[in-house]
Amino acid sequence: MEEMLDLVNDNDEIIGQIKRSESRGIQNVRVINIFIKTPDDKLIVPLRSANRRIYPNCYDFSVGGFVDSGDSYGKTAHKELEEELGVSDMPLQEIGYFKPKDKITISFSKLYLGKYDGRMEDLQFDKDGIQQLYTFSNDEIIKMLKETPEKFKGDFKQSFEYYLENVIKRKQLK
């Protein structure tokens, strides 16, 4: 059975459903993205598999996915975390909410931050969707985005810049 997504109006209120396969380019669906930090303050950055329909062989959020019809953003974030990395008990902090008009994403989107204290080799990542997991410092990601922005999923840069400005900078000011 094909995944169904909620179709929402400009206020993020459900007005119907749409098949996931028909959602490409549709702005009014919901997605989640998660940045996950490691104990050494790096971000987990997967390299998408070559078989991905969009953005194959590109770096991506630590975790991301569409919100299925009837699910909440939070429920989806935890479900995707388990599906993509095999992690089921990580506390997540919502750090951003974006509407298509915000130009951060083409969909309604919530951005979360989590912290992984385990060993990278213990992650049971989705080998169909992910070629390999990397960890990069913020400075390494900034350099990579400047030199090879095409190596990243389309909405990564704006969300990463938001993360730097609204989470990292705020943390440094405290």
Supply the mean pLDDT for the chain: 91
Average pLDDT, stretch 111-116? 97
Supply the range of the domain harboring residue 35: 4-173
Q: How many domains does the chain have?
A: 1
60-87 pLDDT, tens digit per residue, is 999 999 999 999 999 999 999 999 999 9
pLDDT in tens, 12-56: 999 999 888 887 766 789 999 999 999 999 999 999 999 988 899
Nearest-angstrom CA–CA distance, 38 and 116 = 5
Type of residue at 169? K
Helix ranges, the chain (H)? 73-85, 138-147, 156-163, 169-173
- Bridge partner list, 97: 110
- Position 76 scores a pLDDT of 97
Q: How much of the chain, in percent, has pLDDT values that exceed 70?
A: 95
Long-range contacts at 73-82 (CB < 8 A, ≥ 24 apart): 73/30, 73/32, 73/110, 74/110, 76/30, 76/32, 77/32, 77/34, 77/110, 77/112, 80/32, 80/34, 81/34, 81/114
Q: How far, in whole angstroms, is CA 1 from its chain's centroid?
A: 24
| Side chain identity, residue 13 | E
pLDDT given for residue 66 in this prediction: 93
Q: How many residues does the chain have?
A: 174
The CATH number given to whatever domain includes residue 19 is 3.90.79.10
Query: Does the structure show a pLDDT above 60 at 173?
Result: no
pLDDT band at 142 (very low <50, low <70, confident <90, very high): very high
Cross-strand partners of 147: none
Q: What is the pLDDT of residue 19?
A: 87
50 class by beta-carbon count within 10 Å (0-12 exposed, 13-18 middle, 19+ buried):
exposed
Cα–Cα distances in angstroms (integers) from residue 41 to residues 24, 36, 60, 70, in the given order? 34, 9, 18, 35
Confidence of residue 171 (pLDDT cuts 50, 70, 90): low
- Residue-level pLDDT at 101: 80
